[in-house]
Structure formats: structure tokens, C-alpha cells
Structure 1
Amino acid sequence: MPEPAPAAYLLSTYGTRGDVEPLVALAVRLRALGAGVRMCVPPDEEFAHRLAGPGIPLVPLGPPMRELMGGTAPLSAAELSRYRTELVDAQFAVLPEAAEGCDVLVVAGLAQVGARSVAEAAGLHYVYVTYAAVNLPSPHHAPPPRPGWPESAATDNRTLWESDARNVNAQFAETLNGHRAALGLPPVHDVRDHVYSDRPWLAADPVLGPWPRTPGLDVVQTGAWTLPDERPLPAELVAFLAAGAPPVYVGFGSARPSPDIGHRAVEAIRAHGQRVLVSRGWADLDLADGRDDLFAIGEVNQQRLFPRVAAVVHHGGAGTTQTAARAGVPQVVIPLPVSDNPYWAGRVAAAGAGAALHGPTTEALRGAVETVLAPETRARAKALGARMRTDGADLAAEQLAQSPYFSV
């Protein structure tokens, strides 16, 4: 009998670069297995450029992320609620056509509220993936912070997850079930668990971010989804690196921390006689002051850069955390109180590979820099990096090619 034709996949997410890059890695691996792949991502220019490189068809969905992240003040609860509702409406408008001819819909992040209903109506396999264990319900940890939603005064993790489910329902249930009724589908009573499914995938390293086994949830952990990045570093950066001792990297990716945090970090690093490498990021950090011990960069290949720095100071995004950990470099994580940032800060500290600072003072920053520059911290970070796996996207693609529900 002839072999069945390779499946076709629609991969969808809504978020910043840290949300998009893992799905790009999966898409490239699936394509290498002969599968057809297209992706739904925000219509930001940098995502279009990123997908154009490997030739992955892009279907824009939702407003640009820089529009959402670019304000000088955080969005109000009402503004966030409006964005979330509009994103669900956009999914029901875009995903059905984008999924035509596909066999499997793979989505990343809780924001993909409408995706499972679209898959259900079209008869597609559905796979939900998250990039951090903290996003999945478990009595072993509390839910991640969700901006704009009321916080519970409870301290018990089970109670906190129950409150989290109520918040998700309050935000999404009416909108979701209205769209489901239009498709002839029955209503959903627990939106969060409906999105997650009873067999979610976890694309995080099992050494740095393991899943604490929890009854009732069959989690498939593959390891983080990354691609080798072969881009060379800019010549000016190479010259700066060669001009002295390895610098300490400071960067907050797509996050927008208060400007004083960046300045205080630079002061703390200089207080220990270290050079500084500042990544401007989406916040366009402007910390250059004319001194030759500080160099500012745009987006560069972190896989090549991080092994050449003394430490990495960052916001706790999954991608930056795991790239720094694989490089074997110590980290100072200054997490924003959103999403999985506090979780990754805690994981780095628990591994002894760095320090976690919440609302850092100048004194605390100096102490954290001293900690990560210590030989014992560097040794633990190097040992952690040696234990981490690099084949998560390969493993995920192979399992999906065999069956979307094949157990790892």
C-alpha cells in the first residue's frame, strides 16, 4: 500500500517574538518531514520577515503586537478586555479559511480561545501548546499573573486555579459560546480547560522547567522548540567583545520596564568593574552615555552572543531564559509581574544559576550581580547548560507526524 500523504498543519499564536519563534522552529522541522505548514501570527513587520526566510506562508491575525505593547502606560482592564474579545472575534473570522486543506491545528497560548472550536467544526486534530509549566493547572504552583483580571486573596493553589477559571469564563464564555452557537456547536462551560484540552503539550526544557505530574492532566513535554541560529554577530559588536573582558548583557526583549531599572542595572554592573552590553529591545532602551565600557545593540543572534558574556540580565521571558541557560551563563532575572516571567525567575534561582529580583533596589541589584559573577554560580550555570536538551522541535515534529496525540 502507498504511504499516506504527509499531513498539513496550521500553527497559530498571538504574542511577541518569544511566542512566535518556537512555532517557527516547529514549522521548519515539520517542513523537513515533508508536511505542508502555514502560520497565523500578528501582522508585525518583523514576524513577516522572520517567516519569509524559511518560506512559511503567513496569515495575519489580530492587531500588531507593537501596537498593543507600545503604549507609555499599561492598558486598563477595560482596554485589555476589549482587545481579548476582539481577538476571539478575529480568530473565528480568520482561522476557518486559514485552516482549509489542513489536518492539524497547533496553537500556542491561552489567547487562542476560538481555535479549538474552529478545529472541532472543521474536523481537524487540535493540539494546544504552552511554553511554561506554570500556565497549566496544578496544585504544585499558582496560576501566572493575568493583567487586568481581579486577583484572588486565597493562598491555596487549588483555590487560586478555581478563581482563575472563573476569570477566564467571565472574559471569554459569552463571546466564545456565541460563535460556537453560530457553528452549530454546544456551549463550553469551562473555557480555560476547553482551550487547554486534556492533553496539552509543554514546549519547555524538562531540566529547567519540568512538569510537576498532576492527576487529570496528561501533559506531553517535548523540550523547548528552537532552531540553530547561524547568523554572524555584527562586526561592531565583535570588536566590542574583543576589546576587553566579557561584558554583562542587559536586555528586556519586548517588555517595557521602567527606565530606571535599566539605569540601575548598568550602575550595579559598573560598580563591579564590568563592561555592559545593552539590548535596546522593543522599549528602545537608550542607556548609552558616551563611555566606552557600554555598547548598545539591536536584535542579534543570542545563541552566538550569550556564550561570550559574563552574565545575562533580563525580564524572564521563556526564550531568553532558556537560551541563556543552554549557553551556560548565569542570569539576573528581573521579572515583570505578568505571564511566565516570575516563574522563570524562580526556576533560575532554584537551579542556583542566577538570582531573581522582584522590584529591585540598587543595593539588591549590586548583590545579584555579585552573585552571578561568583565562580560557583558560573559553575552551576555551566553544568545546567550541559544537561539541557536541544532537540525539542525535532521531537515534537516527529510525534506530530506519527500522530497528533502520540505520547512522548
Structure 2
Amino acid sequence: MRVLLSTYGSRGDVEPLVALAVRLRELGARVRVCAPPDEVFARLLARADVELVAVGRPMGTMAAPSTESAAARRAAELAAQFDTVVTAAAGCDALLATGLAHFSSRSAAEKLGIPYVYATFCPFLLRSPYQAPPALLPGQSFPPEVTDNRALWDLNARTFNTLHGEALNAHRSSVGLPPVDDVHGFIFTDRPWLASDPVLGPWRETPELDVVHTGAWILPDERPLPDDLLAFLDAGAPPVFVGYGSMRGVSADIARVSIEAVRAHGRRALVGRGWAELALIDDRDDCFVVGEVNQQALFTRVAAVVHHGGAGTTTTAARAGAPQVVVAQAADQPYWAGRVAALGIGAAHDGPAPTAESLSAALATALAPETVARARALADGIRTDGAAVAAELLLDTVGRGTPPMPA
């Protein structure tokens, strides 16, 4: 059995696929992963001994589209990854895609006639009468007179066609595939998989969409923490971790604001460098900066986690029992901020650019004894078998000879 896993996105899109690849391999499947050629992803896949097929430009060089023309160019560029993906998928029995790999990967699976699955890591991207759709471009808003969620999703689908339809269909025509009328349906399919924890990211069933909810795909990390980091942790009370992961567009003074907010509570600060290249603001010994590190181990040693609200970071912090402050920047991050607040395991900061005062107020909520207690209690309920469930399902799909989904 051979399986291709395909993604194009940040670490939050790549690492879960590595977790799935490991589980598939344990079941006897041969697996390769298409992912951006960023060095951090190459190291991640090498650590798990999973074959990487580099596709597209490094994700760290990509900027989110802010206009319709930019969105069309992005769609054309993503669709053009088809040649690499279809070559990687040759001889495979199934193709599963996540992130922005949908444009190339579904067409590749269709061209090769193999079963195709699209998986997402956040419920808010999936059509449901119980939630409104996300905006597709910065500053986009829906007509205020339209309040019915089904009508809003219809508008969302038409926007997908406007932004991506021409570029997608031009590429499909060039490789001998028929056009698609519904880009949203093409991307998400009528049976998407949802790889989120059922407590953190629940799905309310609806007859409009057959969602397969597997649980989050978590890659165990057994790496020891660096000696200098351990020395800092051991030198005092648990610090507050501050990091914004793969976000590059955070406010310029976010490191200063974050450290001042942490110090306002008499706490030490542990700063995650991330793609924003955060750094220390002075030479005081109450702060320490770290690069790429085992967050599963680290978050069990901190008083709280201040972060951007990526699905992976939110799940890792919740699993560690660490209270959270989510300073959402874009995409699915406001959803995760809302879930953290609703579950009472932390605070959702109001807006993407905090001041020292506003972040200190959010930290006060996160560090309150009742929040700490709820975060610790919830930790035991986070499932860790999602990747194993998904691997079994995928191989079962192939074993049944499930045909590729129609466009």
C-alpha cells in the first residue's frame, strides 16, 4: 500500500501530516509527503524518517493575498504544483491533502484515478448552519442585511468562485481535466476529514456535510530540552512562554509589549523566536529566548502560554495543562481564541496588536487560580489517538476500493 500525503502551509499543516505518516507506516503502508521546501519542515520529516517531496516555494517567503488579483495569482501558483504532486502520487493507492495543497492535489488524484481525501484542522472552515463562514480576504465583510448562515455560506461559495475559479479551471483545462463549477466544494469535498480534538474543536453534525471527525493528529516529541533552557527553567518559578509561531506580520513591538506584560505580574518570560524573529529587549536575567524546541515538554514547565492561536499550539498547550492567552492574528486563530475563552482555560485578547496593559489584563485571567485549575483538568481529556484513527480509516478507504470523488 502506497500513500501520498500532500500539504502546503505552515508548520501547523505539516507536522500533523508527519504524525499521520508515522501511523500509516506502522500499519505497513509506504508513505511520502509533499510539503514546502522550508528547512524546518525538512528537519521535521527527516527526524521521523519520512520521505519529503519538496513542492513550491518556501512557505516562509509567501505573503497572504490581500486583493482579488493576488488571490487569483496565488491560486494559479498553487495549481501549478500539479506536476510535482502528480509525479509523487504515481503508483500510490490514495492521496490525502491538507492546507493549501487542494488545488494541485485533488486534480492530481482525479487525473490518476485514485481515492482522494481532504482534511482540515479547524471546524470553522467547514460549511455549517451553526456558524458563519470566515472572511476570505482581509477587511472583507458580508452584507449586514444577510444574517442567515446558510445564505452567508452561499455568498462565501460564490466568493471562492470569483477569487479562484478562473485560475483553477485554466489549469485543469491545460492538463485535460473538466472545469469545476463550485470551487468551495472542490476544495473541501462533500466528506472532509476534521483533525481537531473533539473538546477543543468540536463539530456539530449537520445533514449538509458528512464530516469525518478523527481527533487531532499529534506527533509525539521525545527530544530533550536544551541544557541552557533547562537551567533557566530550574533557576526560578515557572515562566510565561510568549511565541507567535509561523506569524511574521505581528506588531513590531510585540516582544517588548509581551515581556512588559509578563513582568507586570512578577513573572519571568520565555520568548519563542518564531518566524517573527522575536528577541530579548534587554540583558536582565528574567528572560530567555528559544528557537525551535520540544513544546510538548516545555509547556508542562510554564505558568502560561501566550501565542497566536494556531491549531497545533492551542492543542499542545491544552494537552500540557497550561493556561493560555491567544492573541489571534488571522485565519482560524480567532476561532481557537474563542474556544480557549469559552472553555475557561485562558483568555482571548481583543485584537491582534496588544499593549502591555491589555496583554497584562488577559494574563491576569489566564493566571487566575480557577483558570489554572480548569486548564489542568481539561488536559486529561485531550485525545492523542487521532492520527491512529485517521490512518486506519485511510487504509480502510483504500481497501474498500473507494473511487475518487467526482469534481
Shorter-chain TM range is: over 0.9
2:123 maps to: 133
How far did residue 296 of structure 1 move?
0.7
Question: 2:195 aligned with 1:203, yes or no?
Answer: yes
Question: 2:218 aligned with 1:255, yes or no?
Answer: no
- Specify which of 172, 179, 182 is matched with residue 187 of structure 1: 179
2:75 maps to: 84
RMSD: 1.9
1:170 maps to: 162
Task: Give the AA of the match of 1:252.
Answer: Y
- Specify which of 278, 283, 287 is matched with residue 290 of structure 1: 283
How far did residue 405 of structure 1 move?
9.6
1:376 maps to: 370
CA 405–352 in structure 1, closer or farther in 2 if over 3 Å, else same? farther
Residues 200 and 339, structure 2, Cα contact 8 Å, conserved in 1: yes
Q: Secondary structure at the match of 1:272?
A: coil
How far did residue 148 of structure 1 move?
5.2
- Specify which of 48, 52, 64 is matched with residue 58 of structure 1: 52
Residues 131 and 204, structure 1, Cα contact 8 Å, conserved in 2: yes
Q: Secondary structure at the match of 1:277?
A: strand
Residues 288 and 296, structure 1, Cα contact 8 Å, conserved in 2: no
Residues 310 and 333, structure 2, Cα contact 8 Å, conserved in 1: yes
Bigger drift between 393-402 and 46-55 goes to 46-55
CA 23–202 in structure 1, closer or farther in 2 if over 3 Å, else same? same
Q: Distance in 1 between matches of 2:346 and 2:370?
A: 10
Number of residue equivalences? 395
- Specify which of 212, 217, 237 is matched with residue 220 of structure 1: 212
Q: Secondary structure at the match of 1:228?
A: coil
How far did residue 144 of structure 1 move?
2.7
Bigger drift between 132-141 and 360-369 goes to 360-369
- Specify which of 383, 392, 396 is matched with residue 390 of structure 2: 396
How far did residue 399 of structure 1 move?
1.5
* Structure 1, unaligned runs of 5 or more: 1-6
CA 88–295 in structure 1, closer or farther in 2 if over 3 Å, else same? same
1:157 maps to: 149
How far did residue 367 of structure 1 move?
1.5
Q: Distance in 1 between matches of 2:384 and 2:135?
A: 28
1:268 maps to: 261
Question: 2:303 aligned with 1:317, yes or no?
Answer: no
2:43 maps to: 49
Structure 2 counterparts to residues 16-35 of structure 1, below 5 A: 16-35=10-29
CA 284–80 in structure 1, closer or farther in 2 if over 3 Å, else same? farther
How far did residue 176 of structure 1 move?
2.0
Q: Distance in 2 between matches of 1:167 and 1:130?
A: 20
CA 12–268 in structure 1, closer or farther in 2 if over 3 Å, else same? same
Residue identity over aligned pairs, in percent, reads 58
Q: Distance in 1 between matches of 2:91 and 2:65?
A: 38
How far did residue 26 of structure 1 move?
0.3
Residues 80 and 148, structure 1, Cα contact 8 Å, conserved in 2: no
Residues 353 and 381, structure 1, Cα contact 8 Å, conserved in 2: yes
Q: Secondary structure at the match of 1:105?
A: strand
Residues 340 and 346, structure 2, Cα contact 8 Å, conserved in 1: yes
How far did residue 383 of structure 1 move?
1.2
Task: Give the AA of the match of 1:344.
Answer: W
Q: Distance in 2 between matches of 1:214 and 1:105?
A: 26
Residues 35 and 53, structure 2, Cα contact 8 Å, conserved in 1: yes
How far did residue 149 of structure 1 move?
7.8
Q: Distance in 2 between matches of 1:80 and 1:44?
A: 22
Listed one character per residue, the Cα deviations across residues 14-60 of structure 1 (whole Å, up to 9, x for unaligned) are 11111100001001110111101111111112212221222222111
Q: Distance in 1 between matches of 2:211 and 2:74?
A: 29
Listed one character per residue, the Cα deviations across residues 288-346 of structure 1 (whole Å, up to 9, x for unaligned) are 4111111111111000000110000000000000000000110000000x211000000
* Structure 2, unaligned runs of 5 or more: 403-407
How far did residue 260 of structure 1 move?
2.3
Residues 250 and 279, structure 1, Cα contact 8 Å, conserved in 2: yes
Q: Distance in 2 between matches of 1:116 and 1:405?
A: 20
How far did residue 80 of structure 1 move?
4.5
How far did residue 286 of structure 1 move?
1.6
How far did residue 111 of structure 1 move?
4.6
Q: Secondary structure at the match of 2:62?
A: helix
Q: Secondary structure at the match of 1:9?
A: strand
2:4 maps to: 10
How far did residue 99 of structure 1 move?
0.6
Residues 288 and 295, structure 1, Cα contact 8 Å, conserved in 2: no
Question: 2:33 aligned with 1:39, yes or no?
Answer: yes
Listed one character per residue, the Cα deviations across residues 78-116 of structure 1 (whole Å, up to 9, x for unaligned) are 4444233211122x2222111101010100025522322
Q: Distance in 1 between matches of 2:319 and 2:398?
A: 28
Q: Distance in 1 between matches of 2:115 and 2:71?
A: 30
Residues 307 and 325, structure 2, Cα contact 8 Å, conserved in 1: yes
Bigger drift between 140-149 and 266-275 goes to 140-149
